[in-house]
Amino acid sequence: MPCDLLADEIHGVPRNLLRRRAVEAVPPALRGALAGIELAAASPIVSLGLTVERVAWRARWSRAGLPELSGFVPVWRGEVV
């Protein structure tokens, strides 16, 4: 699903809230090396008959050699779950 890179929200959730949730998933020892979080709309999943939207995130590091770190933030009806 295409997503406007300049949009303030993805699936109705503000980007700053999505970034905060992604940073919480980064181990505390690595947070100091975090240069940023990339966000993008991802394909939805169906769980227990509910369609849950997902936002993919990927860590950008301020120095080379750190592990690839990424994940998803589930969104249902415009709220992070």
In angstroms, the CA 45 to CA 32 distance is 32
pLDDT band at 81 (very low <50, low <70, confident <90, very high): confident
In angstroms, the CA 46 to CA 55 distance is 14
Beta bridge partners of 71: 57
Burial zone of 57 (CB within 10 Å; 0-12 exposed, 13-18 middle, 19+ buried): buried
pLDDT surpasses 90 at 41: yes
pLDDT of residue 53: 95
* Matching residue, tokens 């090396």: 33
